[in-house]
Amino acid sequence: MKKILIMLLVATASLTACKKDDDKKKEEATGGNATVTAGNYGFDGGNAGKFSSTKAGMVQVTAAGQTTFTVTAIRDGGNESITIILLQKAAVGKYRIGPQDDNGGIMISKDYAKAGDAALNYSTDLSGTNMAGGGEINITKVEGNTVEGTFYAVAYNGNQKEAFAEQGSFKGILK
C-alpha cells in the first residue's frame, strides 16, 4: 500500500508539473476550484512562513475499486506545492497519515515542476532512523460537491531532511 501511495504522490505531482503554457494562462485567468492555506510551513529546519494557494484543485476518482480524494495546491507566486491524498471517498472525519497508516499521505514540494527530484519532494510516508513522517487530515464538511477540512504534516525527503505544514486548511468544489 505504501508503494502505491508514493506512486500516487509522484504521479499527481508529475501531472501538475506537465501543464501546457496555454493551460497555465487559462488557470490564471479563471482561478482554481479550491483554496489551500497553511499558517506555517518550511523546509530543512527553516521557516518559509505562510502558504496560500487560490488556484488549487480538488478531485475524487475511483479506479480499480479504489476511491481517492486528492487536493493539489501550488503556492501563489511560487513553485512550492502541497498535495493531500486520502485513500477513500471524502467523508467527515479525522484520518491519521504516516508510514504506519494506510489512509493516504501528504507531499510537500519545494518545486512542483521537479517531481522526480527526491531532494525537493517530501512525503509523510517516509521514515527512517530518528525520523517518521506523519500528520492528520481532518475533513470537517462535505455538502454535495463542496469539501472543507484542515491538515498538518511532517514529511521527509530522500536525504532525510524535514518539511512541515501547520494550521493547514482546504476548501473547494470537487471536479
pLDDT of residue 132: 81
| pLDDT (average), residues 124-141 | 85
Q: Give the C-alpha separation, 130 to 166, whole Å.
A: 21
Q: Give the C-alpha separation, 39 to 166, whole Å.
A: 6
41 to each of 61, 117, 151, how far by Cα in Å? 28, 20, 12
pLDDT at 119 over 70: yes
pLDDT at 38 over 60: yes
pLDDT of residue 12: 47
Centre a 10 Å sphere on the Cβ of residue 29 and count the other Cβ atoms it contains.
Answer: 7
Element (H, E) at 7: helix 2-17
Q: Tell me what the pLDDT averaged over the chain comes to.
A: 84
The one-letter amino acid code at 26 reads K
Say what the pTM is.
0.82
